[in-house]
Amino acid sequence: MKALTDRQKILLTLIVREHTRTAQPVGSKTIVAQFGLKLSSATIRNELAAMTELGYLRQPHTSAGRIPTEEGYRYFVSNLVQQTSLPSSTRNTISHQFYQSQQGLDHWLKLAASVLANQSQSASIVTAPHSQRALFKHLELLSVHSDRILMVLVLVGGEIRQRIFSIGEALNQETLSRQAAMLNALCMNKTAPFIAGLDEQLDEGGRRILGMLVEEMNESSHLVTGQVYLDGVQKLLTEPEFAESENARSAMRLFELRPTLDDLLSRTVLKSAIGGVQVLIGGEGQWSELRDFSIILTRYGVPEQISGTLGVIGPMRMPYGHAIGTVRFVSELLSELVTNHLIEE
């Protein structure tokens, strides 16, 4: 990342600010006029040419103003952005909404997605938190239909998983209940590997059930199995850069956002720690569907125990300072709620 002079830094900041506001390329005259610099437009032009050379700016066509490149945004976010936090009145209002709602996790996550989307005026994503190491809490086995068994598994932390399976032979409810009672006694607060080790103590039928149980527990410790709440995707359509291009294409891309995000979440986010905010600009070369978007992500939850992901998705020219502040605030709020209400003591 090539160094910029102080004056160039100021110019980059101004261009980002202006372009974020207007969605238009920014010309040398505009810069002088808007910000009252003590320089002529010709000087600015020279600087702009240099910064274009460095790869931080580009021109949509030869006689247009400049817009930041991905590289330009990246420099801006790393070195120049000023994080703004929400006004405390807004923060209070939002907190209230969460604490008033007694409707449980599902509702909180929806609310979080909605708050993020509204505050940032763009799309938002929130994934349900899940245990990082799945700990067994309770198992229920129910006979559903001849040889089909419904397994309901509750993990420490309150996560519930269900599965219907068959072990080939019909078992009556009594047998199943006995099996469940035994497993409940053996597995309390245990992890999947430990439970897998109980194998030897069981008979044939018990092993089959144990296999399913272990499979289910492992699955839940992988990623994005739970609900994913997406909100405000249609807000992206109001952005001029997407309204411009050919109709179908741009909107189609929004519908393809979902699978791309799932992929992105499962690959990127696990690495980061709770609290750290990641900014992904223009798909970072990896996700071509996100070429025109920027994504701000963070994890929330309780370190080492339970965590989920949340963030906002907007056009590259999003107001980064504000978006980062919002994401951080909502994630702290959710972390607090999750800590207070879902964790075992």
Partner DNA sequence: TTTAGCACTCTCCTCAAGAGAGTGCTAATT
Partner DNA sequence: AATTAGCACTCTCTTGAGGAGAGTGCTAAA
Q: Which residues form the interface with DNA (CB under 7 A)?
A: 24-30, 38-43, 45-46, 48-49, 52, 59, 61-66
Site string (119-148) toward a copy of itself, x via CB under 8 A = ------------------xx-x-x-xxx-x
**153-179 burial, b if ≥16 CB within 10 A, otherwise e?**
bebbbbbebeeebebeeebeeeebeeb
CB of 65 to DNA, least distance (A): 4
Residue whose CB is less far from DNA, 249 or 271: 249
Q: How many residues does this entry show for the chain?
A: 345
Q: Give the range of 8-16, 124-132, 162-170, 209-217 binding a copy of itself by CB under 8 A.
A: 162-170
Span 264-303, contacts to a copy of itself by CB under 8 A = none
Nearest C-alpha neighbor of 220 from the set 301, 334, 298, 133: 133
Backbone angles phi, psi at 310, to 5 degrees: -145, 160
DSSP classification of residue 2: -
Q: Is 239 helix (H, G, I), strand (E, B) or coil?
A: coil
* Residue 162 binds a copy of itself, judged by CB under 8 A: yes
* Residue 234 binds a copy of itself, judged by CB under 8 A: yes
Cβ-contact 111, 304 below 8 angstroms: no
Of 61, 174, 255, 285, the one binding a copy of itself (CB under 8 A) is: 255
Nearest C-alpha neighbor of 133 from the set 258, 222, 64: 222
Span 33-52, contacts to a copy of itself by CB under 8 A = none
Residue whose CB is less far from DNA, 41 or 97: 41
Chain centroid to CA 153: 26
Q: Is 178 helix (H, G, I), strand (E, B) or coil?
A: helix
CB of 45 to DNA, least distance (A): 5
Residues that bind a copy of itself in the complex, under the rule CB under 8 A: 104-105, 137-138, 140, 142, 144-146, 148, 150, 152, 154, 158, 160, 162-164, 233-234, 237-238, 242-244, 247-248, 250-252, 254-256, 341-345
